[in-house]
Chain A
Amino acid sequence: MELLLVFLIGVLYAAGVYFMLRRSMVRLLLGIILLGNATNILIFLLGNITKGKPPIIEANLKVFNDIYADPVPQALILTAIVISFGLTSFAIVLLKRVYALLGSDDLDDLNTPEEEDI
Chain B
Amino acid sequence: MIDNQIIATILVHLFTAIVQLAFWRKTVTQRILSITGSFLGFILSLHLFNKVFNGSILTMNAANWEAPFGIVFVADTLSTTLVLLTSIAALAVSIFSATGVGRARMLFGYFPIFHFLIMGLNGAFLTGDIFNLYVWFEVVIISSFVLLTLGGRKAQLEGAVKYMAMNILASTFFLTGIGILYGITGTLNMADLALKIPKVQDQSIVNLTSMFFLIGFGIKSAVFPLYFWLPSSYHTPPSAVAATFGGLLTKVGLYALFRVFTLMFVPNEFIKTVFIVMAIMTILTGAFGAIIKNNIRRLFSYLIVCHIGFIIGGLGLYTKLALLGAIFYLIHDIIIKTNLFLIAGLIRQLRGTMNMTKLGGIYAEYPKLSLLIALVLFSLAGVPPLSGFWPKIYLIEAAFAGENYFFIVSIILGSFITLYVLAKLWVEVFWKDAADDAAIVDKFKPLNSLNKVLLVLPIGILASTTLYIGLNAEMIIQVADKISTEMLDTRPYIKAVLGK
Contact = CB atoms under 8 A, between A and B. Distances in A.
Contact of B182 (A76, A83, A118): A76
Interface residues of A, number: 38
Contacts of A45: 183
A36 B170 CA distance: 11
B429 to A, nearest CB: 13
B294 A36 contact: no
A35 B169 contact: yes
Interface residues of B toward A: which range? 35 or more
Given A42-B179, A102-B154, A116-B295, A83 B135 contact: yes
Tell me what chain A mostly uses at the interface: helix, strand, loop, or mixed: helix
A32 B355 contact: no
Chain B interface, >50% SS class: helix
A116 B149 CA distance: 19
Contact of A32 (B141, B168, B176, B180): B168
A39 B168 contact: no
Contacts of A94: 145, 149, 157, 160-161, 164
B58 to A, nearest CB: 26
Contacts of B149: 94, 97
A66 to B, nearest CB: 17
B157 A73 contact: no
Contact of A47 (B162, B168, B182, B355): B182
Given A39-B175, A46-B183, A79-B135, A25 B161 contact: yes
Interface string A34-68: 01100100110111100000000000000000000
Interface centre among B152, B157, B188 (most CB of A within 10 A): B157
Interface string A88-99: 001100110110
A47 B161 CA distance: 34
B178 interface: yes
Contacts of A101: 154, 157
Interface of A: 20, 25, 28, 32, 35-36, 39, 42-43, 45-48, 72-73, 76, 79-80, 83, 86-87, 90-91, 94-95, 97-98, 101-102, 107, 110-112, 114-118
